[in-house]
Amino acid sequence: MSNPIEVTVGPRRADFTGKDHFALQGAVDYVTRLGGGTVRILPGMYEMGNSLFLRDNLHLIGSGDESILRKCPSAKTRLVEDTDWYSNVVKVKDASIFEVGGGILLRGKCPHYEKQEFVKRTVTGISGNTICINQEPRVNFWLETKPEACTLFPVITGDYVNDVTIENLTIDGNRAQNENLNGNYGGCIFIQDCDRIVVRNVTARDYDGDGISWQVCDDITIDGCRSINNRDLGLHPGSGSQRPIITNNTIIGASQGLFFCWGVKDGIAENNVIEDCGKYGISIGHRDTDNIVRNNQIRRSGEHGIFFRQHPSPARDPHRNVFEGNLIVDSGKKGDCVAVEMLGKAEDVVLRDNRIVDTRRKHKSRKRIGLRIGPDIKNLQIEGMEYVGLEKEIVDKRK
């Protein structure tokens, strides 16, 4: 049996020559149409006017800091005619901001109920102010809701693909020249409805949204990556993600570092460094159960180092999670500075051998608290905890 095909893509002297999303997509589509293989991205700055769309059985390898995929500046324009859910035509005020083959995001409130809709597509044709898109939106964008068309998209997208490895690559979200795109729809890397994806030694930086987000995915591995200065979530194991492995990563400057979203189960988050997050280092909540969070370092979180979210029903709380061997330093910037805040009705949580430290000078209006336990937390197991430099080690509100 012959070896899987391998090709290169780069600005010069490559199998696929170019320095934009067209060259990258051409290389990816070529190898995967032949059953799968490897695309090596040679050193260079690649301007991304659309996502790089992953395919099955792909190994995408860059040249580290020398292979940079940079998102184009975003722009937006108003729709000037209704677009119905079944139409593949969009009429806009200014079509000059788009290009054929480029990315387009349609956004606006649903005219039938109060919900913001986001639809990502590719431009397939432009005539005057008429944009043709590759697939109907399946959502109504009507003028009374003031819908917009924008050049917003993830830099790398995986949709219904399996068995992919992305490694040794740098992704630049060009945050200074882009609007925000919610992490349920975008990020430097956005993966949805995929299985067995490995992201290793990738830098995801400066995206106006999440660093790496994956939704409804099983067996995702994020290892040795760096999520730096992304506006929203550093790493976002999203709704329904089973058995994620999140190891040896560095997250700096996110709003929340590691965000367990909804129904994340049987995961491992180990040996990660999470620093200078605006709100929480690690947040866990809605039906996130049976996860192990071990040997992580969480420093200088704006509110809490670890935060257990609260939900109206105990069935939706994060049960049977283990937090072991973590170091949590200098949590909170105002009011009660609580390193581990446990709200809601979580049951059978284990806190074992964690070290909670505050190195800052004492402040007359702030109280440094290691662990605050909400009144409805049940069967909490606490073993071998160490507290240093705090006014209160534990505040237990249980009756």
pLDDT tens digits for range 373-388: 999 999 999 999 999 9
Average pLDDT over residues 196-207: 98
* 381-383 and 221-223 strand pairing: unpaired
Confidence of residue 185 (pLDDT cuts 50, 70, 90): very high
- The distance of Cα 341 from the centroid of its chain, to the nearest Å, equals 23
**Phi, psi angles (nearest 5°) of residue 26:** -60, -40
In this structure, which amino acid lies at residue 256? Q
Confidence of residue 1 (pLDDT cuts 50, 70, 90): very low
pLDDT tens digits for range 118-156: 999 999 999 999 999 999 999 999 999 999 999 999 999
Out of 3.40.50.300, 3.40.710.10, 1.20.1730.10, 2.160.20.10, the CATH code matching 153-396 is 2.160.20.10
> Is residue 333 within 8 Å of residue 360, measured between CB atoms?
no
> Is residue 141 within 8 Å of residue 110, measured between CB atoms?
no
Distance separating the N- and C-terminal Cα atoms of the chain: 67
* 189-192 and 212-215 strand pairing: parallel
Boundaries of every domain in the chain: 76-150, 153-396
Does the structure show a pLDDT above 60 at 2? Answer: no
pLDDT tens digits for range 100-117: 999 999 999 988 888 899
pLDDT of 312: 81
- Determine what percent of the chain is predicted with pLDDT higher than 70: 99
- When the pLDDT of each residue in the chain is averaged and rounded to a whole number, the result is 96
More confident call, 3 vs 301: 301
- Determine what percent of the chain is predicted with pLDDT higher than 90: 93
User: Which of 399, 288, 394, 384 shows the shortest CA–CA distance to 339?
Assistant: 394
CA dist 374 and 380 (Å) reads: 11
pLDDT of 124: 98
pLDDT of 314: 74
Which residues are 137's β-sheet partners? Answer: none
More confident call, 283 vs 367: 283
CA dist 265 and 267 (Å) reads: 6
Confidence of residue 399 (pLDDT cuts 50, 70, 90): confident
Burial code (b: 16+ CB inside 10 Å, e: under 16) for 51-60 equals bbbbbebbbb
Alpha-carbon torsion (72, 162, 205, 340), positive or negative: positive
Average pLDDT over residues 189-197: 97
List, edge to edge, every strand of the sheet that includes 148-150: 76-78, 148-150, 103-109, 116-127, 130-133, 89-91
pLDDT tens digits for range 320-350: 999 999 999 999 998 899 999 999 999 999 9
Does the structure show a pLDDT above 70 at 183? Answer: yes
pLDDT tens digits for range 76-92: 999 999 999 999 999 99
Does the structure show a pLDDT above 90 at 248? Answer: yes
Which residues are 131's β-sheet partners? Answer: 90, 126
> Domain 76-150 - what CATH class?
mainly beta
> Is residue 105 within 8 Å of residue 150, measured between CB atoms?
yes
pLDDT of 115: 87
